Structure 1
Amino acid sequence: MEYQVLARKFRPQTFEEVKGQEPVVRTLVNAIAQGRIGHAFLFAGPRGVGKTSVARILAKSLNCEKGPTATPCNKCPNCKEITDGRSMDVREIDGASNRGIDEIRELRENVKFAPAASKYKVYIIDEVHMLTREAFNALLKTLEEPPGHVIFIFATTENHKVPATILSRCQCYDFRRISLSQIAANLGGVAAKENIAISATALSWIAEAGDGSMRDAQSIFDQIIS
């Protein structure tokens, strides 16, 4: 069996599993429960703290066959396809690789079409601050008059580089660095599930080296045990 890196293997699949972002999770869960879902979200914060994971969980919450629900089942075809990264209605775009106007124009054309099998078409654009000015201007036109079936989730480590015209049309969420104790506890849980013996002192050292990033800490842990 192909080895799966710990950060991917233990990626949170529900809001309950997300660590260190309680204010963000609480606000999103309440918004879903009250049916107050905006058409554009901006998740800002350091790398490796859960922005993309929360974006995927939000996409599942909206498109789960039991949804919209703050507790997606992770069992229905929609949830499974989103988890596996093969949903036709949830598209992840790397802003650093797809910076150009042509890519955003293609996106603008695609949003016109209804979802294939879900309630919403969800576009997750990672590192959105990397888009060119022309691409932002093209994206703005869609954000000004978004189709009812489309939701954008932007993630960035540098929200100060996102134009104010984009920010003003998003619900903005600030992700913070994760505490050392929460990272150490997470790594301890991973070690137990993987049957790895490791001291509390070592876990604390790895957590500290992660510098508030769960993903970085898990990557360091991966290197140590390999």
Structure 2
Amino acid sequence: MIHIENVSKTFTLHNQSSAVIRVMEGATFDVAKGECVALTGDSGAGKSTLMRMIYGNYLAATGTIRVGETDVACAAPREIIALRRQTLGYVSQFLRVVPRVATLDVVAEPLLSVGCPREQALDRARDLLTRLNIPQTLWGLSPTTFSGGEQQRVNIARGFAHTYPALLLDEPTASLDATNRATVLSLIDEAKARGAAIIGIFHDKPARDHVADREIDVSAFTPAKVA
């Protein structure tokens, strides 16, 4: 479902005489349907950089990043938008939404964007918000006013609303209490059971051990360690 082959990344420091920094070379691996792969490695190894390339936020310098039938490394913007709407979900550590939009609509939006009937989408949003212990009194308010923990749980609900065939998870259990952490792990298990291919960053080792089928040390792709 996800195919990464010979991916490299450089950054150009325009404020430092256009110096070019090589941050990744030769990244190659596959993620099958129903499999969860955890990215590991020291801070700065390139875990988040690789995730952003897969999602299309960063442009790869070389290589193939295929999600389903789309090669993100060379796809047109409209193809990236379609991929994100229908195929590739991303649960980041931070909630970014339009202000003044109600929480219920924020969570339902990924379903509405693919043509799901509104009441069905809202039912799914209600179920997820309930499971993640967001009080019903908050559902009509904008999540931009919520605490950091509440925003994180809204972000998780939004990321799992649509049954994406592929998912990117960036620290989905960070800073959660035991009850909500268990709920998130259950959501990941459910996504795997329905066949989603998942790539995640989990600094919470017990969570990583619970959901990951295998680990990939991104440090192996840093230029100093590439043969």
Task: Please give the range of the TM-score, normalised by the shorter of the 2 chains.
Answer: 0.3 to 0.5
- Per residue, is there more helix in 1 or in 2? 1
- Per residue, is there more strand in 1 or in 2? 2
Normalising by structure 1, we get a TM-score of 0.46
Q: Which structure's relative contact order is higher, taking Cα pairs within 8 Å and 6+ residues apart?
A: 2
Normalising by structure 2, we get a TM-score of 0.46
